[in-house]
Chain A
Amino acid sequence: MTVEKTDQKSVLLETRGITKEFSGVRVLDDISISIRAGEIMGLIGENGAGKSTLIKIISGIYQPTAGSLQLDGKQVEVPDFITAKRLGIAIVPQEFNLINTLSVYENIYLGNEIRKKSGLLDKNRMREKAAEQLAELKMPIDVNLLISELSVAEKQLVEISKALLLDARILIMDEPTTTLTGHEIVILFTLMRNLKRKGVTLIFVSHKLQEIIAICDRVTVLRDGSLISVDNAADVDEHDIARKMIGRDFQQVFPQKKIRGTDDIILEAEGLSSGKMVKDISFNLRRGEILGFAGLVGAGRTETAEAVMGLRPLEAGKLTYNGKKVAIKNPRDAVRLGIGYLSEDRQGKGIVQNFNIPQNVSLISLKRYLKGVLIDKRAELEKSTQYVKKFNIAAASQKMALRFLSGGNQQKVYLARWVDTDPRILILDEPTRGIDVNAKREIYDFIHSLAASGISCIVISSEMEEVIGLCSRVYVMREGKVTGCLEGKQITEEEIMFHATGIKGQVS
């Protein structure tokens, strides 16, 4: 095989004009990147920038709408995951695909079992070879242990071994450090350097700036589905990358005037702790304000909201509501006090798919529709009709099961459910995730009018512009801790990004 001689080092994988659309929405636009043999390429961008979509196309999980992939200078078709593996492209997914009840070696060889001539499994050989490979990675794990007995870092290692089994030349790692501790990250980086020395090309996906700078040879920045830059890691610093990741123009989708709320504090949290994701969180919320919680995915914002709602047990901390200390043990306590929480997981924790609109709207406030012990279905339907009008919910009939509605309409029904409880405080977790621009704008307007009517709103969002466009104050979280509270002119994408990634506001 002749190696293509170019000015640069040899290119192993090239994406040519990769474009991807999901039902008409363009999520990747004309991406052309060359990845060189034996380098570690960083792929960075905000949530929704298109990182995951791109690596899914490279590893055969998605098919591009336009564009092609070149491997060793030749165009290749990657119709599925298996073909990608055969071509030497392997992916270590963010969520592990390991079977807890099987041992390490059984997982590594799952789907590629070695058999004896008799057709029975050659367990000894698989054990030996798996142990060999793990030793080569300088990570000795007993191959007979069950996956459930391993730490997260060890599981990741098994996942990497599995990926390398078929002589992978390109290893894609999707946010591998999210669940690791500092020490484990150091070990992972050592391993990545070892792999590089062995000639494996790595694509490292992350939204953590320091990590990208620390480990990568080059850095690709994506934003809103477009390729922004490809730089040598040595030539850029964290601030450069942060600026490239953000910095888009705001569309005029946010209400013009911001609502500050009044000065009296309706909810004060002091030193809330719950598990690994909520560590000593303190914040306060004013009456009628829209308060933002910014940060990267996994910063502990959702967990904090769930702790306030009584969905997670509080290990420490104090909640003061309207000047009185309160104990919220379960969501019913929270609802009784007038606190609501719109979950980020609309499908899994929000709507009931096979309930119709009135049934979904009244789920929490059902008590109000009782006549004696029976539900007054007419009153229920009337109220629901009002919400359909107020929130501009598009549905052929009230009787339609929610699964037939679009994401935006489902979200509005879900929002109506909480509004129907007459909350004093409403926590909205990623309120516009997965919905179209028009519905987004409408939801911003609703939140705005809720606040104007005196309801205090907390908006948790990973979309910078949302937090900036809506909120008068913003708490930024990182790794389960509050790293800062920004107010007024301080609320900029850069400031938020700095606090979210740990450049500013280090807390010990």
Chain B
Amino acid sequence: MGIDIKAKTTGFFKNFRFGDHSTGMAFILLFILAVIVGWPNFLQPRNLINILRQISYTGIIGLGMTLIIISGGIDLSVGSMAAFTGGITILFLNLFPGPSHLGVALAAIFAVIFGALCGLFNGILVTKGRIAPFIATLGTMSIFRSLIQYFSGAGNILSLNTVYPEVGAGMVLGLPVPVWAFFIIAALLHVLLNNTRFGRYVCAVGANEQVARYSAVSVTITRMIPYIITGATVGVTALLWSSRLNSINSSDCVYYELDAIAAAVIGGTSMSGGKGTIIGTVLGAIMLGMINNMLVLGGVSSYLQQAAKGMVIIAAVLLQYNKRN
């Protein structure tokens, strides 16, 4: 009672609460602003598709990250992990000589499994090792980056397979493959979070670990699986990224963790755990892309783009904080 008074007057808005839809509202406002600032180029299909492609790499990781944050954790290692996984995947692919389609298919599976194993490693450190997620993944962030530098001799790992780029650079029904991957994974994780037992447990553990424990929920497993899922999403991104350029550079995917976390936070996921949505993260990721695009179209120095992103993140958290009080 007393929580939905704001918009009670009109029939249509009877059950509408602004607080529940603040991400959607922000998205619409930002979109309108982008249309105005970027007129007419912003609305060009090519531009819109380009935005989606640009955000899909970190967006995919952000989807997994959302689960981790809801469960009460964080993963800082995803950027390094993406570069590492991409590099090892190319080394694996190169075991198959010539333009082997089988090699590409197996490499795709390999990337996802390898990423999931990296995620499992993080998950074990956090749950069994009882290391604070921030610290554990700060450590693995450094480890993964160092390993890819070692394997690449601090340079590039080149693929010898000429059909590999078809994965990352390909188009299906007018949309780039990474965008499809982003939307499909989003749909899967949305169902996982909202309609399965595991999803419910993730929210419960993130909201109050003690309550979950006293309610016979296996806290260890519930906290570990989001890291594995995130590892798998990192694997997908690593596959898409490495195949697009048909190589991996040891300094690729730097700061991916920031964009992934930012997408989740802007999308309304609470950093203290227990609350968040996949749809929010999708919108959050697209908003980040729109802001960048808008600044480019508006002729703002590219050096200032990160500053704009930073302000949006802070504004999103402020909004969350105010809602809670």
Residues of B contacting A364 with CB < 8 Å? 215-216
Please judge, given known A-B contacts A352-B208, A353-B207, whether A404 and B3 are in contact too, CB under 8 Å: yes
For chain B, the bracket of interface size reads 20 to 34
Whether the Cβ atoms of B196 and A404 lie closer than 8 Å is no
Complex-state Cα separation, A178 to B25, whole angstroms: 55
Contact of B213 among A331, A353, A373, A375 (CB under 8 A): A331
At the interface with chain B, which of A95-103, A231-239, A275-283, A342-350?
A: A342-350
A121 on the interface (CB 8 Å rule)?
Answer: no
Residues of B contacting A417 with CB < 8 Å? 215
Whether the Cβ atoms of B196 and A374 lie closer than 8 Å is yes
Whether the Cβ atoms of A375 and B275 lie closer than 8 Å is no
Complex-state Cα separation, A355 to B196, whole angstroms: 15
Contact of A311 among B197, B200, B214 (CB under 8 A): B214
Complex-state Cα separation, A343 to B212, whole angstroms: 12
A179 on the interface (CB 8 Å rule)?
Answer: no
A230 on the interface (CB 8 Å rule)?
Answer: no
| Least CB distance, A399 to chain B, in whole angstroms | 9
| Least CB distance, B190 to chain A, in whole angstroms | 12
Whether the Cβ atoms of A349 and B214 lie closer than 8 Å is yes
Whether the Cβ atoms of B207 and A396 lie closer than 8 Å is no
Please judge, given known A-B contacts A352-B208, A366-B200, whether A341 and B275 are in contact too, CB under 8 Å: no
Contact with B along A347-366 (1 / 0, CB 8 A): 01111111100010011101
Please judge, given known A-B contacts A349-B210, A353-B207, A404-B3, whether A370 and B200 are in contact too, CB under 8 Å: no
A90 on the interface (CB 8 Å rule)?
Answer: no
Contact with A along B242-283 (1 / 0, CB 8 A): 000000000000000000000000000000001100000000
| Least CB distance, B118 to chain A, in whole angstroms | 26
Whether the Cβ atoms of B216 and A404 lie closer than 8 Å is no
Residues of A contacting B200 with CB < 8 Å? 359, 362-363, 366, 375
Whether the Cβ atoms of A351 and B196 lie closer than 8 Å is no
Whether the Cβ atoms of B197 and A367 lie closer than 8 Å is yes
Count chain B CB atoms within 10 A of each CB in A311, A352, A367, A375 and give the residue with the most: A352
B:203-246 near A, CB below 8 Å: 203-204, 207-208, 210-211, 213-218
Whether the Cβ atoms of A350 and B195 lie closer than 8 Å is no
Whether the Cβ atoms of A343 and B275 lie closer than 8 Å is no
Please judge, given known A-B contacts A355-B203, A359-B200, A363-B204, whether A332 and B216 are in contact too, CB under 8 Å: yes
A334 on the interface (CB 8 Å rule)?
Answer: yes
| Least CB distance, B194 to chain A, in whole angstroms | 8
Complex-state Cα separation, A364 to B201, whole angstroms: 10
| Least CB distance, B239 to chain A, in whole angstroms | 26
Please judge, given known A-B contacts A355-B204, A374-B191, whether A332 and B218 are in contact too, CB under 8 Å: yes
Interface residues, chain A, CB within 8 Å of chain B?
311, 330-332, 334-335, 341, 343, 345, 348-355, 359, 362-364, 366-367, 370, 373-375, 377, 396, 404, 417
20 contacts across the A-B interface (CB closer than 8 A)? A311-B213, A331-B214, A332-B216, A335-B216, A348-B210, A349-B208, A349-B211, A349-B214, A350-B211, A352-B203, A354-B207, A355-B207, A359-B200, A362-B200, A370-B197, A373-B197, A374-B195, A374-B196, A377-B195, A404-B1
- Closest 6 interchain pairs by CB? A331-B216, A349-B214, A374-B195, A335-B216, A332-B216, A349-B210
Query: What 12 new A-B contacts, CB under 8 Å, besides A343-B214, A363-B215?
Result: A349-B208, A352-B208, A353-B207, A354-B274, A355-B203, A362-B200, A363-B200, A366-B197, A375-B195, A377-B195, A404-B1, A417-B215
